Structure 1
């Protein structure tokens, strides 16, 4: 019982929670602070307040071009990961395929493999079979590492769904496609939305796979940020990072409007 916990333990628990929150949020505060600095160099606390770095980013062809490539790839990855991962989760949950347990483990295997090892292997495989890398290479590479999130979230929702709803629909004369579209998919919606959210963010933020599978003229936004930090670091990278944080918060607000954060988080 909560009342049986001694006061020193509760105080220590609160201190631990506050310290953890501070540890997680402090880097974000520093990034946002640097992004509004007037200084030519990365420094915190900022020397004066200015939006000049946001203007520079929004008028930079290199940043905008990289962001457009990342956005297109992320949309494609979200679509394919949601379709493939959702279909795989439904098939695994129904156990219509032999070895469903092994298949579930197989679809989660990209989470175990180190990203850099996968990126090197993907580059070697694609170069040996298809030749030079293209945007399709990045699309496929990102899809492989994001499908496990869709499978996991959809399976979590299906495990708590009512299996008798589909049987009831079948009793009422609904065909397989009708049952899938009108019963199963609505039940999967929170898991699919959560998986799509993870897929978009992971693809948009992925740097290692994009770094190995890129070519001149095909640079994603994270790779552009790393390059800027390596050769000529300035507060513009903090401005870009702040915009990416705002994008993530915006997606969460959209999901809250559509599904509710509590329902989304429960998946």
Structure 2
């Protein structure tokens, strides 16, 4: 028989959960509050409320082009990482590749490799082999760090799928391509959707790789935010950050509508 949890332990657990929520949400509340400030400086609580800094961002000649650049890179990385990561996950799950366990560890290694080390190594390798870095350098770098999330989420979905569906389709005379398109990929869709979400967010928010692997005239939004904070910080940075928070929440709502948030979270 399971004993009841002591009251002091329950209280301690509730306090711990409450502190965790505060630590997670407090910075976001500060950022949102600063974005509506009338002040010319970053200060919280705001002295007055105004939409001036959102107008400043909208009319800015630097924030919007940087956001468009980040969006283009993130979309391209999402498509590439989802296609390649999904294919790798299917092959690893079916163990159709030699040394599948070793390859699985290798594909997931970017999750534990420090980003700055990978960025410096990629810059040195690309410069020695191809010369000047380009937009392709940034695209490849972002794809490498985004793929493990697609592989991980797709493998999680495949591990819970019915392994006999593919055998049944083969028994009914379906070809390999037909089984892949009509059986395997539909089973992978929740994992692919979750992986695509992570890939997009990671690419759009990545600053270290973008700082090392971008062309001098190519400015992404995270790099622009870092530069603004370093040289002339003002509440426009908070306004941009608030917009990014809102877009992330919107993407979560879309995923909840399409896939179901609980099913997404399990993957």
TMscore range, shorter length: over 0.9
Deviation at 1:216, TM superposition (A): 2.5
Deviation at 1:3, TM superposition (A): 6.3
Structure 2 counterparts to residues 6-85 of structure 1, below 5 A: 6-85=6-85
State the partner residue of 2:118: 118
State the partner residue of 1:132: 132
Distance 1:198 1:230 in 2: 28
1:225-250 residue CA offsets vs partner (Å, 9 max, x unmatched): 00000000000000000011111111
Distance 2:154 2:136 in 1: 26
State the partner residue of 1:199: 199
State the partner residue of 1:184: 184
TM-score after normalising by structure 1: 0.98
State the partner residue of 2:233: 233
User: Is residue 2:258 matched to residue 1:258?
Assistant: yes
1:17-75 residue CA offsets vs partner (Å, 9 max, x unmatched): 01100000000000000000000000000010001101110111110110010000000
Deviation at 1:215, TM superposition (A): 2.5
Distance 2:3 2:229 in 1: 51
Deviation at 1:136, TM superposition (A): 1.0
Distance 1:210 1:20 in 2: 31
TM-score after normalising by structure 2: 0.98
Aligned residue for 1:108, secondary structure, equals helix
Distance 2:221 2:135 in 1: 14
Distance 2:169 2:258 in 1: 26
Deviation at 1:8, TM superposition (A): 1.0
Q: After the TM superposition, which parts of structure 1 deviate over 4 Å for at least 4 consecutive aligned residues?
A: none
Distance 2:262 2:91 in 1: 26
Q: 1:76 to 1:7 in 2, by over 3 A?
A: same
Distance 1:135 1:242 in 2: 27
Deviation at 1:2, TM superposition (A): 7.5
1:179-209 residue CA offsets vs partner (Å, 9 max, x unmatched): 1011100111111111100000000000000
Distance 1:241 1:2 in 2: 47
Distance 2:178 2:61 in 1: 48
Count of matched residue pairs: 267
Distance 1:70 1:2 in 2: 53
Unaligned segments of structure 1, at least 5 residues: none
Structure 2 counterparts to residues 205-216 of structure 1, below 5 A: 205-216=205-216
Aligned residue for 2:62, secondary structure, equals helix
